[in-house]
Amino acid sequence: MSKKDRMSGNQAAATAIRQINPDVIAAFPITPSTEIPQYVSSFKADGLIDTEFIAVESEHSAMSACIGASAAGVRAMTATSSAGMALMYEMLYIAASDRLPIVLAAVNRALTGPININADHSDSMGARDSGWIQLYSENAQEAYDNLLMANRIGEHPDVMLPVMVCQDGFITSHGIENIVIEDDDKVKAFIGEYRPEKYLLNPDESLAVGPYSVSPYVIEMKKAEHEAMVNAKAAVKSVSDEFGKAFGREYGFFEEYRMDDAEYAVLLMSSAAGTGKDAVDELRAKGVKAGLVKLRAFRPFPADELAAALAGLKALAIMDRSDGFSATAGPLNAEVRAALYGKSAVKAAGYIYGLGGRDVKTGDFHAIFAELGQLAAGKTLPYCQYIGVRE
Protein backbone atom coordinates (compact mmCIF):
# COMPACT_ATOMS: atom_id res chain seq x y z
CA MET A 1 0.00 0.00 0.00
CA SER A 2 1.34 3.45 -0.93
CA LYS A 3 2.11 5.90 1.86
CA LYS A 4 2.69 9.62 2.09
CA ASP A 5 6.01 10.86 3.38
CA ARG A 6 8.22 13.95 3.39
CA MET A 7 11.67 13.67 1.88
CA SER A 8 14.23 15.35 -0.31
CA GLY A 9 14.84 14.49 -3.94
CA ASN A 10 18.03 12.68 -2.98
CA GLN A 11 16.23 10.63 -0.35
CA ALA A 12 13.46 9.89 -2.84
CA ALA A 13 16.03 8.69 -5.38
CA ALA A 14 17.74 6.53 -2.76
CA THR A 15 14.39 5.10 -1.69
CA ALA A 16 13.68 4.09 -5.28
CA ILE A 17 17.09 2.41 -5.44
CA ARG A 18 16.36 0.56 -2.20
CA GLN A 19 13.12 -0.76 -3.64
CA ILE A 20 14.80 -1.72 -6.91
CA ASN A 21 17.56 -3.46 -4.93
CA PRO A 22 20.03 -3.53 -7.86
CA ASP A 23 22.76 -6.13 -7.93
CA VAL A 24 25.54 -3.54 -7.96
CA ILE A 25 25.92 0.09 -6.91
CA ALA A 26 29.28 1.71 -7.65
CA ALA A 27 29.64 5.32 -6.57
CA PHE A 28 31.97 8.14 -5.61
CA PRO A 29 30.74 11.19 -3.66
CA ILE A 30 30.26 14.60 -5.26
CA THR A 31 28.00 17.48 -4.24
CA PRO A 32 25.00 17.56 -4.51
CA SER A 33 24.48 13.85 -5.30
CA THR A 34 26.55 12.53 -2.37
CA GLU A 35 23.52 11.78 -0.20
CA ILE A 36 22.21 9.17 -2.65
CA PRO A 37 25.07 6.66 -2.20
CA GLN A 38 25.20 7.60 1.50
CA TYR A 39 21.58 6.55 1.95
CA VAL A 40 22.16 3.41 -0.12
CA SER A 41 25.21 2.41 1.95
CA SER A 42 23.09 2.83 5.09
CA PHE A 43 20.41 0.59 3.61
CA LYS A 44 23.12 -1.98 2.91
CA ALA A 45 24.52 -1.73 6.46
CA ASP A 46 21.02 -2.12 7.92
CA GLY A 47 20.32 -5.23 5.86
CA LEU A 48 17.52 -3.61 3.85
CA ILE A 49 19.16 -4.49 0.53
CA ASP A 50 21.62 -7.13 -0.62
CA THR A 51 23.17 -4.92 -3.27
CA GLU A 52 26.93 -5.18 -3.77
CA PHE A 53 28.04 -1.64 -2.86
CA ILE A 54 31.40 -0.73 -4.42
CA ALA A 55 33.09 2.39 -3.02
CA VAL A 56 35.45 3.40 -5.82
CA GLU A 57 38.19 6.00 -6.11
CA SER A 58 36.60 8.21 -8.79
CA GLU A 59 33.51 8.70 -10.91
CA HIS A 60 35.37 7.26 -13.91
CA SER A 61 35.85 4.12 -11.82
CA ALA A 62 32.21 4.17 -10.73
CA MET A 63 30.96 4.01 -14.31
CA SER A 64 33.67 1.49 -15.20
CA ALA A 65 32.50 -0.81 -12.40
CA CYS A 66 28.90 -0.44 -13.52
CA ILE A 67 29.90 -1.32 -17.06
CA GLY A 68 31.67 -4.47 -15.89
CA ALA A 69 28.73 -5.47 -13.71
CA SER A 70 26.14 -4.82 -16.41
CA ALA A 71 28.20 -6.68 -19.01
CA ALA A 72 28.35 -9.62 -16.62
CA GLY A 73 24.56 -9.72 -16.68
CA VAL A 74 23.35 -7.92 -13.57
CA ARG A 75 21.43 -4.72 -12.84
CA ALA A 76 23.81 -1.83 -12.04
CA MET A 77 23.17 1.76 -10.89
CA THR A 78 25.13 4.84 -9.78
CA ALA A 79 24.74 8.54 -9.04
CA THR A 80 26.77 11.66 -9.82
CA SER A 81 26.79 15.37 -10.58
CA SER A 82 28.69 17.99 -12.56
CA ALA A 83 32.45 17.35 -12.70
CA GLY A 84 31.79 13.77 -11.64
CA MET A 85 29.76 13.26 -14.80
CA ALA A 86 32.51 14.95 -16.79
CA LEU A 87 35.05 12.49 -15.34
CA MET A 88 32.74 9.66 -16.48
CA TYR A 89 32.57 11.11 -19.97
CA GLU A 90 34.61 8.42 -21.77
CA MET A 91 32.73 5.66 -19.96
CA LEU A 92 29.29 7.14 -20.71
CA TYR A 93 29.95 6.55 -24.40
CA ILE A 94 31.25 3.05 -23.74
CA ALA A 95 28.19 2.12 -21.66
CA ALA A 96 25.86 3.24 -24.44
CA SER A 97 27.81 1.74 -27.34
CA ASP A 98 28.07 -1.56 -25.46
CA ARG A 99 24.26 -1.41 -25.04
CA LEU A 100 24.34 -1.76 -21.26
CA PRO A 101 21.15 -0.55 -19.48
CA ILE A 102 22.85 1.07 -16.49
CA VAL A 103 20.78 3.64 -14.57
CA LEU A 104 22.39 6.88 -13.39
CA ALA A 105 20.72 9.20 -10.85
CA ALA A 106 22.04 12.55 -12.10
CA VAL A 107 21.73 15.52 -9.76
CA ASN A 108 22.21 18.46 -12.09
CA ARG A 109 24.91 20.94 -11.11
CA ALA A 110 26.80 23.57 -13.10
CA LEU A 111 29.85 22.14 -14.79
CA THR A 112 33.09 23.91 -13.88
CA GLY A 113 34.15 26.64 -14.59
CA PRO A 114 33.85 28.91 -12.86
CA ILE A 115 33.53 26.55 -9.90
CA ASN A 116 29.93 26.44 -8.76
CA ILE A 117 27.94 23.80 -6.88
CA ASN A 118 24.41 24.89 -7.76
CA ALA A 119 21.90 23.79 -10.35
CA ASP A 120 21.98 24.11 -14.05
CA HIS A 121 21.88 21.55 -16.84
CA SER A 122 25.37 21.98 -18.31
CA ASP A 123 26.51 18.58 -16.98
CA SER A 124 23.79 16.40 -18.49
CA MET A 125 23.47 18.58 -21.61
CA GLY A 126 27.19 18.06 -22.19
CA ALA A 127 26.46 14.33 -22.34
CA ARG A 128 23.29 14.62 -24.39
CA ASP A 129 24.73 12.86 -27.43
CA SER A 130 26.55 10.11 -25.56
CA GLY A 131 23.76 7.63 -26.36
CA TRP A 132 22.01 7.77 -22.97
CA ILE A 133 18.28 8.09 -22.54
CA GLN A 134 17.63 11.23 -20.49
CA LEU A 135 14.58 11.84 -18.29
CA TYR A 136 14.16 15.13 -16.38
CA SER A 137 12.26 15.55 -13.11
CA GLU A 138 10.39 18.60 -11.82
CA ASN A 139 10.27 17.52 -8.18
CA ALA A 140 11.07 14.71 -5.75
CA GLN A 141 8.00 12.72 -6.74
CA GLU A 142 9.05 12.70 -10.37
CA ALA A 143 12.66 11.83 -9.49
CA TYR A 144 11.33 8.82 -7.56
CA ASP A 145 8.86 7.81 -10.26
CA ASN A 146 11.32 8.23 -13.13
CA LEU A 147 13.85 6.02 -11.36
CA LEU A 148 11.21 3.32 -10.89
CA MET A 149 10.62 3.38 -14.65
CA ALA A 150 14.23 3.75 -15.78
CA ASN A 151 15.32 0.10 -15.56
CA ARG A 152 12.24 -1.08 -17.44
CA ILE A 153 12.86 1.45 -20.22
CA GLY A 154 16.58 0.80 -20.62
CA GLU A 155 16.24 -3.00 -20.35
CA HIS A 156 13.55 -3.25 -23.01
CA PRO A 157 14.86 -5.80 -25.57
CA ASP A 158 14.35 -3.31 -28.42
CA VAL A 159 16.35 -0.65 -26.56
CA MET A 160 19.15 -1.88 -24.26
CA LEU A 161 20.55 1.58 -23.56
CA PRO A 162 21.61 3.29 -20.31
CA VAL A 163 19.23 5.76 -18.67
CA MET A 164 19.99 9.03 -16.90
CA VAL A 165 17.33 10.33 -14.47
CA CYS A 166 17.97 14.02 -13.79
CA GLN A 167 16.84 16.33 -11.00
CA ASP A 168 18.00 19.85 -10.14
CA GLY A 169 20.76 20.11 -7.56
CA PHE A 170 19.74 21.56 -4.17
CA ILE A 171 16.44 22.91 -5.55
CA THR A 172 15.05 19.38 -5.82
CA SER A 173 17.81 17.20 -4.37
CA HIS A 174 17.84 18.88 -0.94
CA GLY A 175 14.38 20.45 -0.76
CA ILE A 176 11.88 18.58 1.44
CA GLU A 177 8.58 17.81 -0.27
CA ASN A 178 5.47 15.72 0.24
CA ILE A 179 5.79 12.51 -1.75
CA VAL A 180 3.94 9.24 -2.24
CA ILE A 181 6.09 6.13 -1.77
CA GLU A 182 4.73 2.92 -3.22
CA ASP A 183 4.67 -0.48 -1.53
CA ASP A 184 7.96 -2.36 -1.83
CA ASP A 185 6.38 -5.55 -3.18
CA LYS A 186 4.31 -3.67 -5.72
CA VAL A 187 7.41 -1.82 -6.93
CA LYS A 188 9.36 -5.06 -7.26
CA ALA A 189 6.49 -6.61 -9.22
CA PHE A 190 6.43 -3.60 -11.57
CA ILE A 191 10.18 -3.61 -12.18
CA GLY A 192 10.58 -7.38 -12.46
CA GLU A 193 13.76 -9.40 -12.80
CA TYR A 194 16.53 -8.48 -15.21
CA ARG A 195 17.18 -11.33 -17.62
CA PRO A 196 19.52 -10.14 -20.38
CA GLU A 197 19.68 -12.12 -23.58
CA LYS A 198 23.47 -11.87 -23.75
CA TYR A 199 25.99 -11.47 -20.93
CA LEU A 200 29.61 -12.32 -20.26
CA LEU A 201 29.00 -14.96 -17.59
CA ASN A 202 26.78 -17.09 -19.79
CA PRO A 203 28.78 -20.38 -19.99
CA ASP A 204 26.92 -21.45 -23.12
CA GLU A 205 27.97 -18.55 -25.30
CA SER A 206 31.18 -16.79 -26.28
CA LEU A 207 30.82 -13.03 -26.12
CA ALA A 208 33.07 -9.98 -26.31
CA VAL A 209 31.95 -6.66 -24.83
CA GLY A 210 33.69 -3.47 -25.91
CA PRO A 211 36.21 -4.89 -28.36
CA TYR A 212 38.26 -2.70 -30.66
CA SER A 213 36.15 -1.96 -33.72
CA VAL A 214 37.84 -1.35 -37.04
CA SER A 215 36.38 0.95 -39.68
CA PRO A 216 34.11 -1.58 -41.44
CA TYR A 217 32.05 -2.03 -38.25
CA VAL A 218 31.75 1.28 -36.38
CA ILE A 219 29.11 2.98 -38.50
CA GLU A 220 26.89 -0.12 -38.42
CA MET A 221 27.16 -0.23 -34.63
CA LYS A 222 26.30 3.47 -34.35
CA LYS A 223 23.32 3.04 -36.67
CA ALA A 224 22.06 0.20 -34.46
CA GLU A 225 22.54 2.41 -31.40
CA HIS A 226 20.60 5.18 -33.15
CA GLU A 227 17.78 2.77 -33.96
CA ALA A 228 17.70 1.71 -30.31
CA MET A 229 17.18 5.34 -29.30
CA VAL A 230 14.34 5.59 -31.82
CA ASN A 231 12.84 2.43 -30.30
CA ALA A 232 13.17 4.00 -26.86
CA LYS A 233 10.26 6.29 -27.66
CA ALA A 234 7.88 3.35 -27.71
CA ALA A 235 9.48 1.97 -24.55
CA VAL A 236 9.14 5.28 -22.68
CA LYS A 237 5.47 5.44 -23.65
CA SER A 238 4.60 1.82 -22.87
CA VAL A 239 6.42 1.75 -19.51
CA SER A 240 4.91 5.11 -18.54
CA ASP A 241 1.44 3.83 -19.42
CA GLU A 242 2.00 0.72 -17.29
CA PHE A 243 3.26 2.88 -14.44
CA GLY A 244 0.12 5.01 -14.63
CA LYS A 245 -2.09 1.95 -14.44
CA ALA A 246 -0.10 0.52 -11.52
CA PHE A 247 0.35 3.66 -9.42
CA GLY A 248 -2.08 6.28 -10.73
CA ARG A 249 0.44 8.93 -11.80
CA GLU A 250 0.46 9.66 -15.53
CA TYR A 251 3.60 10.47 -17.53
CA GLY A 252 4.40 11.04 -21.18
CA PHE A 253 7.19 12.59 -23.20
CA PHE A 254 6.16 15.97 -21.82
CA GLU A 255 3.49 17.57 -19.66
CA GLU A 256 1.09 20.17 -21.08
CA TYR A 257 -0.13 22.71 -18.52
CA ARG A 258 -3.16 24.81 -19.48
CA MET A 259 -2.39 24.30 -23.14
CA ASP A 260 -5.90 23.51 -24.42
CA ASP A 261 -6.54 27.07 -25.60
CA ALA A 262 -3.12 28.62 -25.03
CA GLU A 263 -1.89 31.28 -27.43
CA TYR A 264 1.49 31.78 -25.77
CA ALA A 265 3.62 29.18 -23.99
CA VAL A 266 6.99 28.52 -22.41
CA LEU A 267 8.82 25.23 -22.88
CA LEU A 268 11.40 24.12 -20.32
CA MET A 269 12.60 21.22 -18.15
CA SER A 270 12.84 20.30 -14.46
CA SER A 271 12.21 22.36 -11.32
CA ALA A 272 11.59 25.77 -12.90
CA ALA A 273 8.38 24.34 -14.35
CA GLY A 274 6.76 24.72 -10.92
CA THR A 275 7.47 28.46 -10.88
CA GLY A 276 6.34 28.69 -14.48
CA LYS A 277 3.01 27.06 -13.66
CA ASP A 278 2.40 29.63 -10.91
CA ALA A 279 3.11 32.41 -13.40
CA VAL A 280 0.76 30.84 -15.94
CA ASP A 281 -2.01 30.74 -13.33
CA GLU A 282 -1.42 34.41 -12.48
CA LEU A 283 -1.52 35.41 -16.14
CA ARG A 284 -4.64 33.36 -16.78
CA ALA A 285 -6.35 35.30 -13.96
CA LYS A 286 -5.55 38.45 -15.96
CA GLY A 287 -7.01 37.05 -19.16
CA VAL A 288 -3.75 36.06 -20.86
CA LYS A 289 -4.02 32.72 -22.64
CA ALA A 290 -0.74 31.43 -21.27
CA GLY A 291 0.43 27.82 -21.15
CA LEU A 292 3.48 25.73 -20.33
CA VAL A 293 5.09 22.59 -21.72
CA LYS A 294 7.48 20.72 -19.45
CA LEU A 295 9.71 18.32 -21.35
CA ARG A 296 10.37 15.05 -19.54
CA ALA A 297 12.22 13.04 -22.19
CA PHE A 298 15.11 14.92 -23.80
CA ARG A 299 16.50 11.66 -25.18
CA PRO A 300 14.72 10.20 -27.04
CA PHE A 301 13.61 13.62 -28.25
CA PRO A 302 9.86 13.67 -29.09
CA ALA A 303 10.12 15.96 -32.09
CA ASP A 304 6.89 15.08 -33.89
CA GLU A 305 4.84 15.04 -30.70
CA LEU A 306 6.16 18.44 -29.62
CA ALA A 307 5.53 19.97 -33.04
CA ALA A 308 1.90 18.83 -32.86
CA ALA A 309 1.45 20.13 -29.30
CA LEU A 310 2.88 23.55 -30.14
CA ALA A 311 1.25 24.01 -33.56
CA GLY A 312 -1.64 26.20 -32.40
CA LEU A 313 0.43 28.81 -30.57
CA LYS A 314 1.03 32.38 -31.64
CA ALA A 315 4.42 32.52 -29.90
CA LEU A 316 6.68 30.21 -27.91
CA ALA A 317 9.54 30.77 -25.45
CA ILE A 318 12.17 28.02 -25.31
CA MET A 319 14.03 28.14 -21.99
CA ASP A 320 17.47 26.55 -21.54
CA ARG A 321 19.23 26.08 -18.20
CA SER A 322 22.55 25.69 -20.03
CA ASP A 323 24.31 27.59 -22.77
CA GLY A 324 25.22 26.11 -26.11
CA PHE A 325 27.86 28.59 -27.34
CA SER A 326 26.53 28.10 -30.83
CA ALA A 327 24.50 29.92 -33.44
CA THR A 328 21.43 28.07 -32.17
CA ALA A 329 22.05 29.05 -28.50
CA GLY A 330 21.03 26.48 -25.85
CA PRO A 331 20.57 22.77 -26.62
CA LEU A 332 16.82 22.76 -26.00
CA ASN A 333 16.41 25.81 -28.24
CA ALA A 334 18.19 24.05 -31.08
CA GLU A 335 16.26 20.80 -30.69
CA VAL A 336 12.84 22.44 -30.49
CA ARG A 337 13.40 24.77 -33.43
CA ALA A 338 14.56 21.81 -35.50
CA ALA A 339 11.43 19.91 -34.48
CA LEU A 340 9.24 22.83 -35.56
CA TYR A 341 11.00 23.44 -38.87
CA GLY A 342 8.66 22.75 -41.74
CA LYS A 343 5.88 21.58 -39.41
CA SER A 344 4.76 24.69 -37.57
CA ALA A 345 4.64 28.43 -38.18
CA VAL A 346 4.76 29.33 -34.49
CA LYS A 347 7.12 32.20 -33.73
CA ALA A 348 9.79 31.26 -31.21
CA ALA A 349 12.21 33.08 -28.93
CA GLY A 350 15.05 31.55 -26.94
CA TYR A 351 15.99 32.29 -23.33
CA ILE A 352 18.88 31.15 -21.15
CA TYR A 353 18.15 31.22 -17.43
CA GLY A 354 19.21 29.92 -14.05
CA LEU A 355 22.89 29.27 -14.77
CA GLY A 356 24.86 28.36 -11.65
CA GLY A 357 21.69 28.27 -9.58
CA ARG A 358 20.45 31.80 -10.38
CA ASP A 359 16.83 32.07 -9.28
CA VAL A 360 14.07 32.30 -11.86
CA LYS A 361 10.96 34.02 -10.52
CA THR A 362 7.35 34.41 -11.55
CA GLY A 363 8.18 37.98 -12.56
CA ASP A 364 10.71 36.63 -15.07
CA PHE A 365 7.97 34.51 -16.63
CA HIS A 366 5.63 37.52 -16.73
CA ALA A 367 8.29 39.46 -18.65
CA ILE A 368 8.80 36.56 -21.06
CA PHE A 369 5.08 36.27 -21.77
CA ALA A 370 4.91 40.04 -22.36
CA GLU A 371 7.67 39.68 -24.95
CA LEU A 372 5.82 36.78 -26.56
CA GLY A 373 2.83 39.07 -27.05
CA GLN A 374 5.12 41.55 -28.81
CA LEU A 375 6.63 38.77 -30.91
CA ALA A 376 3.19 37.61 -32.02
CA ALA A 377 2.33 41.22 -32.93
CA GLY A 378 5.29 41.43 -35.28
CA LYS A 379 8.16 42.74 -33.15
CA THR A 380 11.52 41.13 -33.82
CA LEU A 381 13.18 39.65 -30.73
CA PRO A 382 16.78 38.48 -30.38
CA TYR A 383 17.27 34.83 -31.28
CA CYS A 384 18.18 34.17 -27.64
CA GLN A 385 18.34 36.31 -24.50
CA TYR A 386 19.66 35.84 -20.96
CA ILE A 387 17.26 36.10 -18.02
CA GLY A 388 18.31 37.89 -14.84
CA VAL A 389 21.70 39.13 -16.01
CA ARG A 390 23.00 42.21 -14.14
CA GLU A 391 23.99 44.78 -16.77
pLDDT at 132: 99
Same fold, 3-247 and 254-386: yes
C-alpha to C-alpha distance for 27 and 43, rounded to whole angstroms = 15
What CATH code is assigned to 254-386? 3.40.50.920
pLDDT at 316: 98
pLDDT at 103: 99
| Domain boundary assignment for the chain | 3-247, 254-386
CATH architecture assigned to 3-247: 3-Layer(aba) Sandwich (3.40)
Q: What is the DSSP string of 9-59?
A: HHHHHHHHHHHH--SEEEE---TTTTHHHHHHHHHHHTTS---EEEE-SSH
pLDDT at 239: 98
C-alpha to C-alpha distance for 110 and 15, rounded to whole angstroms = 25
C-alpha to C-alpha distance for 294 and 256, rounded to whole angstroms = 7
pLDDT at 220: 95
* Full-model pTM: 0.98
Handedness of CA 129, 222, 78, 10 (dihedral sign): positive
Handedness of CA 318, 324, 327, 328 (dihedral sign): negative
Q: What is the DSSP string of 218-238?
A: HHHHHHHHHHHHHHHHHHHHH
C-alpha to C-alpha distance for 190 and 209, rounded to whole angstroms = 29
User: Mean pLDDT across the chain, nearest whole number?
Assistant: 97
Calculate the alpha carbon distances from 163 to 105, 221, 310 in Å: 9, 19, 27
The distance of Cα 19 from the centroid of its chain, to the nearest Å, equals 20
pLDDT at 223: 97
pLDDT per residue, tens digit, the chain (391 aa), is: 899 999 999 999 999 999 999 999 999 999 999 999 999 999 999 999 999 999 999 999 999 999 999 999 999 999 999 999 999 999 999 999 999 999 999 999 999 889 999 999 999 999 999 999 999 999 999 999 999 999 999 999 999 999 999 999 999 999 999 999 999 999 999 999 999 999 999 999 998 898 899 998 999 999 999 999 999 999 999 999 999 999 999 999 999 999 999 999 999 999 999 999 999 999 999 999 999 999 999 999 999 999 999 999 999 999 999 999 999 999 999 999 999 999 999 999 999 999 999 999 999 999 999 999 999 999 999 999 999 999 8
